[in-house]
Amino acid sequence: MRPAAQSLFAAALIDPERPLPEGITAARGKAADRRFAVYRNTVTVTRIDALAAIFPAIERLVGQEAFRSLARLHLVEEPPASPVLFEYGAGFAALLERTEPLRPYPYLADVARLERAWLDAVHAEDALPLDPTALGAIPQERLNDVIFTAHPATRIVESRFAAVSIFSASRGHRPLDGIRPQEPEDGLVTRPGHTVEVRRLAPGAAPFLKALIRGETLAAAASHTLASHPGFALPAALSVLLEAGVFTACTLLPARME
Amino acid sequence: MRSTPCSPQTETPRFSCAPLPPRAGAGLKPGHVDQILADDRPVGFFEVHAENYMGAGGAPHRALTAIRERFPLSVHGVGLSIGSESGIDPTHLERLARVVERYEPAMVSEHLAWSSHETGYFNDLLPVPYTAETLDRVARHVSQVQERLKRRILIENPSTYVLFENSTMAETDFIREIAARSGCGLLLDINNVFVSATNHSFQPLQYLRRFPLELVEEIHLAGHAEDLDDEGEPLLIDAHDRPVAEAVWKLFEIVISQTGPLPTLIEWNNDVPDWPVLRRELSLADAILDRLGPASLLGSRHAAE
Amino acid sequence: MSNTTLISASALASAVAMALTGATVLASAGSALAATEKCYGVAMAGQNDCAAGPGTTCAGTSKVDYQGNAWKSVEAGTCTTMSLEGGRKGSLEPLERDMPA
């Protein structure tokens, strides 16, 4: 076998316009076209099916036919790099964003980001969420300097559209009536127990949680958020933080040297 | 090299060290786990695709841990691309090693096929030509995997739809030689034999006569779909989407009457039925193992373990 | 970083205290805080806890993948059945066109 034989086989697999790779044959002098097509179909169909399993809400939103066309585009642009298929599809949201026929539906990309985040959370490392008493045990005068450790499942998707409501309705097979797509919604994805949860965050909560995830202190994150979102409700954001299991631990920055 | 998870030196194994019993087992499907755990009737073992458990944590691992605590487990890789011209992906091999360390399975197996290339992962088991050059490569890759996993693995015969003009060896000889060079065991997929035999116009029994049955440590059975080739003649597809075909059960009976009872997996990966339907297929396999195993030519080598 | 603090230590302490009591109250439904929070912070679990994403298959398929890539619009999806205010459908385009230039 020539050294690059699998390259030719691979190229013919994903491009139906190409002729059969040289040296491919069948018994008793039969033709091999329909035979090779079994590999072609399996490669394309199962990889499209994999994307459909990752993005069921998108498939429902755009319809099966359009979804499979989009998935084919994605396969060409960004074929799966690894046999671990539940990690596939990171670039699918970006494809939706720049695909011309989808311009009237600009919320689709953020719904896809939520779906990808949801699956990340399903497979994330196990960790116990922060015990609220650990936060309660910190002396009041030191709360400024609290920093948090993010739970491995935590993901935040900020959207200029009603991505969380649309995601939730589509996954729940509910009609989308009553949803105002242009209402901004930030989504929080967590896995506090064994089940992935998706929450809609109040305005300001997403940048606040993202600042904490980046390692900012509680005081710095709260201050920055209040500066950019004057109506930000800190107690509610802290409640969500605890209830949703956004973090696993909180610690104090070492006391500053005066 | 050992093929079971526990050596005498292992101090406190987390799971039972028992080998796969010579009984029917099932491919584990997430939707079946609750029913399986509530089912009183015994199941010989479960088999999972390694790639589905390469995540860090979460529900898949919780379910598989519960299964592993109660049943022997076989880990079946589908993505190592052992036949690849570009070598074994070291990252993927490490991820497989982590799954094997985590679950201490009774068996680890992979395919005589390739599935990845520089352009990505194809999610299909693609064929290799049977040449001296491929043989060197595949045997080297199997040894590399066994060295990393520190255990023996089984290699499965493929189902194929095309042939290569440059093949110089019979598939059975090729497989026998891989085992001889690498020391691996074999997984005999009888549905694959039937599919390939139909597709390439040979007799399945002739294939089985030339196959090194003495190296077989596990059997796979599955259903296949029927299509047509360019000449309008049957082209079988290894679809795993329906019950095992009558002709494949017959071949299974013939194999078991020669080898004695072997761990036998029912694979059903597409259009997966409810657990009771899959359970019924297992009962059919168990009935054959009970009926024909004890009278086999090679004897009950596995029952003695 | 906390040099630019807009929030006083006591405000922070009271927010944490509220959250800590709130966290326990939220767990039991029907509290006043839960009521005010019902638009937000309500978890929507995935439909299917088993759905770990695509599973691998070592099988082939007899399904034929159509070759055509040509498509122009999203016709069969729920996007197009979403009714918006004013009887519009789920496309945001008409809405944008309505906006004053």
Tell whether A115 is covered by a domain: no
Rounded mean pLDDT of chain A? Answer: 93
* Predicted local confidence at residue A258, as pLDDT: 47
**CB atoms C59 and B31 under 8 Å:** no
Reported confidence tier of residue A17, pLDDT bands at 50, 70, 90: confident
Percent of chain B residues past pLDDT 90, beyond the cut? 88
Calculate mean pLDDT across residues B250-262.
Answer: 96
Tell whether B248 is covered by a domain: yes
* Predicted local confidence at residue A52, as pLDDT: 95
pLDDT in tens, A60-107: 999 998 999 999 999 999 999 999 999 999 999 999 999 988 999 999
* Predicted local confidence at residue C91, as pLDDT: 75
Give the number of other CB atoms < 10 A from CB of residue B97: 16
Same domain, yes or no: A76 and A159:
no
* Predicted local confidence at residue B297, as pLDDT: 65
Of the three residues A105, A140, A162, the one that is the final residue of a domain is A105
Q: What is the CATH number of the domain that holds A221?
A: 3.90.930
Calculate mean pLDDT across residues B31-47.
Answer: 93
Reported confidence tier of residue A255, pLDDT bands at 50, 70, 90: low
Reported confidence tier of residue A228, pLDDT bands at 50, 70, 90: very high
Residue B107 predicted with pLDDT over 70 = yes
Q: Which other chains touch chain C, taking contact as 3+ CB pairs less than 8 Å apart?
A: A, B
Q: What is the sign, positive or negative, of the torsion defined by CA atoms of B152, B157, B158, B159? A: negative
- How far from C2 is each of A10, A206, C8, CA to CA, in Å? 57, 20, 10
Beta bridge partners, A250, equal A148
Q: Where are the alpha helices (DSSP H) in B44-131?
A: 59-70, 90-103
Same domain, yes or no: A68 and A188:
no
Tell whether A215 is covered by a domain: yes
Tell whether A2 is covered by a domain: yes
Calculate mean pLDDT across residues B261-268.
Answer: 97
* Predicted local confidence at residue B227, as pLDDT: 95
Residue A49 belongs to what domain range? Answer: 1-105
Same domain, yes or no: A10 and A60:
yes
As given in the structure block, the two tokens for residue B72 are 């022997």
Closest CA to A234 of C38, C8, C27: C8
Tell whether A44 is covered by a domain: yes
Phi-psi sector, A28: left (phi>0), alpha (psi -120 to 50), beta:
left
Q: How many CB pairs under 8 A join A and C?
A: 241
Residue C25 predicted with pLDDT over 50 = no
Tell whether B6 is covered by a domain: no
Tell whether B67 is covered by a domain: yes
Q: Which residues of A touch C95 (CB under 8 A)?
A: 182
Q: Tell me what percent of chain C is helix, strand and coil, each rounded to the nearest 5.
A: 40, 0, 60
DSSP three-state, residue B135 = helix
* Predicted local confidence at residue C92, as pLDDT: 75
Q: What residue has token string 């060079």?
A: B181
Tell whether B2 is covered by a domain: no
The partner residue sitting opposite B56, judged by closest CB among A32, A35, A125, is A125
- Which of the residue ranges A147-151, B174-178, B261-265, B293-297 would you say has the lowest mean pLDDT? B293-297
- How far from B20 is each of A37, A82, A140, B173, CA to CA, in Å? 37, 29, 59, 27
The one-letter amino acid code at C30 reads G
Tell whether A141 is covered by a domain: yes
* Predicted local confidence at residue C17, as pLDDT: 93
The partner residue sitting opposite A220, judged by closest CB among C2, C39, C71, is C2
**CB atoms A6 and B85 under 8 Å:** yes
The rounded distance, in Å, linking the Cα atoms of A186 and A201 is 5
As given in the structure block, the two tokens for residue A36 are 């090779």
DSSP label of B79? S
Among C1, C42, C95, the residue to mutate for chain A (most A Cβ within 10 A): C1
Same domain, yes or no: A194 and A232:
yes
Percent of chain A residues past pLDDT 90, beyond the cut? 87
**CB atoms A3 and B85 under 8 Å:** yes
Q: How many domains is chain B partitioned into structurally?
A: 1
Reported confidence tier of residue C79, pLDDT bands at 50, 70, 90: confident
Same domain, yes or no: A98 and A136:
no
Reported confidence tier of residue A170, pLDDT bands at 50, 70, 90: very high
Tell whether A81 is covered by a domain: yes
Same domain, yes or no: A162 and A254:
yes
Same domain, yes or no: A258 and A145:
yes
Greater confidence, A257 or A248? A248
* Predicted local confidence at residue C85, as pLDDT: 61
Q: How many domains is chain A partitioned into structurally?
A: 2
Residue B188 belongs to what domain range? Answer: 24-292
* Predicted local confidence at residue B125, as pLDDT: 97
Q: What angle do CA A81, A83, A89 make, to 5 degrees?
A: 55
Reported confidence tier of residue C2, pLDDT bands at 50, 70, 90: very low
* Predicted local confidence at residue A211, as pLDDT: 98
Give the DSSP H or E segment for A221: helix A218-228
Tell whether A114 is covered by a domain: no
DSSP three-state, residue B274 = coil
Phi, psi of B11, rounded to the nearest 5 degrees: -75, -65
Tell whether B226 is covered by a domain: yes
Q: What is the CATH number of the domain that holds B40?
A: 3.20.20.150
**CB atoms B270 and C61 under 8 Å:** yes
